[in-house]
Structure 1
Amino acid sequence: MSTNRRRMRVASVVAGIGIVAVLAAGCSRGGGTPNSTEDGAAEASPGITDSSITLGITTPLSGPTAGPGTCTVAGITAYFGAKNADGGVEFGDGKTRKVEIEALDDEYDPQKAKANYDQLKSSVFAMTAGLGTPTNRAWREAAIADEVPQALIMTGDPIFSDAEESPWQLGFVPTYLNEGQAFGELLAGSGEDHKVAILSQNDDYGEGYVEGFKSGIEGADNIEVVKELTYEATDTSVDAQLTELAGSGADVFFNAMSITPLVISSLQKTQELGWLPSWFLPSNTSSPSAILEPGGAAAFPGVYTVAFAQSAAAPTFADSEEGAAFLSELKEFGNYPDPPAFPHCVWSYQVGATLEQVFAKMTEPTRADFMEQLRTISGYTAPLMLEGSTVDTTVDGQPAVSTVQVQKYNGKGYAPAESWDE
């Protein structure tokens, strides 16, 4: 493709990742009163002109979470890259703008994420799509103080969807409580007796999943949590915890873990120990090809997760018109040549589509107007969503997507799990 049709730019990406950032400019959300120009029009916020808007992303592009982190840039880059090639995105003020993405690598390190935000905040209109609870939390308060939107980010931490606590924030993916509760309710509804062992990340990520799960089984006499342990996100092994949990007699393992290599090694270690429970895995660490297959997940009676979007790794994905278009755009504009193993590529593509809905409502080139319009999207079916899931940003305390479906691994991909089935 010729350079006059698009310009690709990425900052601080480790060699070999091959992710790109495409012309696209970003919006934000806020609640302040914008300054006015002499003719009475609202003064434009940083990162937006009459012809372009710039969005910033801080996300892990290297290190153990580089797989999903790279996808958070590739998907949104693909979406707006295609839009830019067609002339740009039409805004509610009547102007058509190209969208530029500036992405920085934080290696899933909160301090680096904060430094990236500090570097980007004055030149981008809004921050978006970045992966990680601790990394997004690291600069949440700064974004509030600076009145910079932190919009449709990839964390299930509910604090980002609380308009009072986080007036310049909104999460995109379902909260950890949403996910954990859905699995808990499915398990409790089985009518069978189950003993559950829990291993969770020792932070808001892990705590949210556990809280949601426990709310899902509340009042269920057939479910007993027999052992709970935690691990640190910086740990390189959880063998000791798994050995202890294996002795609990649990037939269900609730594993609230965000680190890809640890999930794989945990699947392998429990088999070595001869402990073969049914598993629950978070949506962001449940990839069939990148995690379950190398971990030997087929050895377990059931591996469950939740989803709201179609899986690009599914054998039939490319056969649909939407799926084929996504893969083509991901390759051409996102510089991502293969079907993604992680769902985050689809999620961030959906973030791009949702942002376009917001842009279409904006009548002023300000972060404040962006935030106001961000809270008005209701009943929007973004591309590649599962039936029954929609984008709704109007419910305080909930992220843009709050509906999930429990799914069970079938050896190749996932199928809906309408009831507990071992």
Structure 2
Amino acid sequence: MKVRNKSGGALAIVAMASVVALSVSGCTRDGAGQGNGSGASPGITDTSITLGITTPLSGPTAGPGTCTVAGVAAYFGAVNAAGGVKFGDGKTRSVNIKSYDDAYDPQKSLSNFQQMVSDNIFAVTAGLGTPTNRAFRDAAISQKVPQVLVMTGDPLFSDRKQSPWQLGFVPIYQNEGAAFGKLLAGSKDQHKVAILSQNDDYGKGYVSGFKEAIKGNSSISIVGEQTYEATDTSVDAQLTQLASSGADVFFNAMSITPLVIAALQKGQQIGWKPSWFLPSNTSSPTAILQPGGATAYPGIYSVSFAKAPQSPVFAKDPDVVKFLSELKQYGNYPDMPAFPHCMWSYMVGATLEQAFKNMTGPTRDNFMESLRDIKGLKAPLMLEGTSVDTTVDGQPAVSTVVVQKYNGQGYATAENFG
């Protein structure tokens, strides 16, 4: 895999010296374009295939964004070292990754997509963010460029009619919210819930899933609800307002790492210590919960579908041992992963490899057909009871999650609330 270090940081990536604006409407390539004169789509030859990732490699979400590249790079770095992927057409190809920094800025992600088209990327994958992925969704559809296994729980990306060239990877936000709602609804006690959510489709998805799951349950009441903008630098005012509600459960649908840490700290400062629910992408024990002092709360709950390398339970797990070794060697990520996105993107690599093995022709159309025909794939690092299934319209590649409770070091499965 062709990579070189862009910034001297933990991850070696293919550096883009500049982002060149390319008029999407002026480009004539399509899903079965004559990218190399052989009937193949752009970005694939008899010996290689090139994938692009636009994701935040700088800014407040750079931690998880970096992981979205590191995991894929680790997976295919090891695969390439072993000889590459044997595709369904009989040819063996190496998988090359190019990454582009969008700093969680939708305008930059659109520019990055335009640059990827110019760079003859075969498909876009793994990138983090709902607004950033939405920014170039229409262009990807127009250009018939696959935008797949991306790190957004936006259900639009898994609707085949509306998004024929898209597919999400992580569970849709509604599924995560509903999983916690069902756990809370199973409690025999009365609960007052306060909600703070990001004022976009990300936050709205979590909240709608949660509310649907507790509908009709008289023991649960929502006593306060606030929103924040992804560009905000503080949520202190919202926390103070919600604390006055007397809620004993805090449903916190936030995607910005520094704000989650600050919210955990603010709750303690004002003496409000409810049980918390956090989304899977902002529930890292080492990067968020520990610096936020999460052990001060009676319970921090989240959901997962991946084995956590930090957990003593998985310390000697063969999947985890192999993953950590490859992450260090090929993903140039020497530390213990602080964010689950490292594991998720590693699973993305395994899912892509399965799709490649099923491809009978070197076109984007054939790739999409192959990708949407994966069922029951137990990708490395997946928790018991979860698997990859891309055959269900309206659902991403992974739709099942396990609710977990923070125990001060990592997470353990939560059978009950409390």
TM-score by length of 2: 0.94
> Is residue 365 from structure 1 mapped to residue 358 from structure 2 by the alignment?
no
> Is residue 107 from structure 1 mapped to residue 100 from structure 2 by the alignment?
no
Which of 375, 396, 399 aligns to 1:402? It is: 399
Which of 348, 352, 355 aligns to 1:351? It is: 348
After superposing the two structures, state which structure 1 stretch, 95-104 or 118-127, moved more.
118-127
Aligned to 2:182: 185
Aligned to 1:25: none
Aligned to 1:76: 72
Aligned to 1:174: 171
> Is residue 308 from structure 1 mapped to residue 301 from structure 2 by the alignment?
no
Aligned to 1:29: none
1:131 alignment partner AA: L
Displacement, 1:200?
0.2
Aligned to 2:246: 249
Aligned to 1:18: 11
Aligned to 2:153: 156
Q: 1:9·1:102 contact (CA, 8 Å) conserved in 2?
A: no
Secondary structure (helix, strand or coil) at the match of 2:312 reads: coil
Q: Distance in 2 between matches of 1:171 and 1:102?
A: 19
Displacement, 1:315?
3.0
Question: CA deviation digits over 1:161-215, x for unaligned, max 9?
Answer: 0001100000000000000000001101112110000000000000000001001
Aligned to 1:377: 374
Question: CA deviation digits over 1:344-368, x for unaligned, max 9?
Answer: 0000000000001000110000000
> Is residue 94 from structure 1 mapped to residue 87 from structure 2 by the alignment?
no
CA RMSD of aligned residues (A): 1.6
Secondary structure (helix, strand or coil) at the match of 1:319 reads: coil
| Identical positions, percent | 69
Q: 1:312·1:343 contact (CA, 8 Å) conserved in 2?
A: no
Q: Distance in 1 between matches of 2:117 and 2:131?
A: 19
Q: 1:20 to 1:245 in 2, by over 3 A?
A: same
Which of 212, 218, 223 aligns to 1:221? It is: 218
Q: 1:21·1:74 contact (CA, 8 Å) conserved in 2?
A: no
Aligned to 2:202: 205
5+ residue gaps, structure 2, are 16-29
Which of 2, 15, 35 aligns to 1:7? It is: 2
Displacement, 1:20?
3.0
Displacement, 1:419?
1.1
Aligned to 2:40: 44
After superposing the two structures, state which structure 1 stretch, 312-321 or 13-22, moved more.
13-22
Q: How does 1:283-294 map to 2 (within 5 A)?
A: 283-294=280-291
Q: Distance in 2 between matches of 1:371 and 1:418?
A: 38
Aligned to 1:56: 52
Q: Distance in 2 between matches of 1:86 and 1:15?
A: 27
Q: Distance in 2 between matches of 1:196 and 1:188?
A: 12
Question: CA deviation digits over 1:353-399, x for unaligned, max 9?
Answer: 00010001100000000011111000111001000000000000000
Q: Distance in 2 between matches of 1:19 and 1:174?
A: 28
Q: Distance in 2 between matches of 1:409 and 1:260?
A: 17
Secondary structure (helix, strand or coil) at the match of 1:68 reads: helix
Question: CA deviation digits over 1:307-341, x for unaligned, max 9?
Answer: 00101222343412211111010000000001101
Aligned to 1:26: none
Q: Distance in 2 between matches of 1:93 and 1:227?
A: 57
Displacement, 1:36?
8.5
Q: Which runs of 4+ in 1 moved over 6 A?
A: none
Q: Distance in 2 between matches of 1:420 and 1:42?
A: 58
> Is residue 235 from structure 1 mapped to residue 228 from structure 2 by the alignment?
no
Q: Distance in 1 between matches of 2:81 and 2:8?
A: 26
Displacement, 1:16?
2.8
Aligned to 1:280: 277
Q: Distance in 2 between matches of 1:154 and 1:33?
A: 22
Q: 2:265·2:292 contact (CA, 8 Å) conserved in 1?
A: yes
2:156 alignment partner AA: I
Displacement, 1:7?
3.3
Q: 2:64·2:339 contact (CA, 8 Å) conserved in 1?
A: yes
Q: 1:194·1:223 contact (CA, 8 Å) conserved in 2?
A: yes
Question: CA deviation digits over 1:78-101, x for unaligned, max 9?
Answer: 000000001100100000000000
Which of 326, 336, 340 aligns to 2:333? It is: 336
1:300 alignment partner AA: Y
Q: Distance in 2 between matches of 1:21 and 1:70?
A: 12
Q: 1:177 to 1:42 in 2, by over 3 A?
A: farther
After superposing the two structures, state which structure 1 stretch, 13-22 or 73-82, moved more.
13-22
Q: Distance in 2 between matches of 1:14 and 1:175?
A: 33
Q: Distance in 2 between matches of 1:287 and 1:325?
A: 21
Q: Distance in 1 between matches of 2:31 and 2:262?
A: 51
1:8 alignment partner AA: V
Displacement, 1:418?
1.2
Question: CA deviation digits over 1:8-32, x for unaligned, max 9?
Answer: 246xx5453434359xxxxxxxxx8
Question: CA deviation digits over 1:127-165, x for unaligned, max 9?
Answer: 000000000000000000000000100000000000011
Q: 1:57 to 1:33 in 2, by over 3 A?
A: closer
Q: Distance in 1 between matches of 2:369 and 2:351?
A: 14
Aligned to 1:327: 324
Q: 1:9·1:101 contact (CA, 8 Å) conserved in 2?
A: no
Residues paired across the two proteins, number: 402
Q: Distance in 2 between matches of 1:7 and 1:199?
A: 42
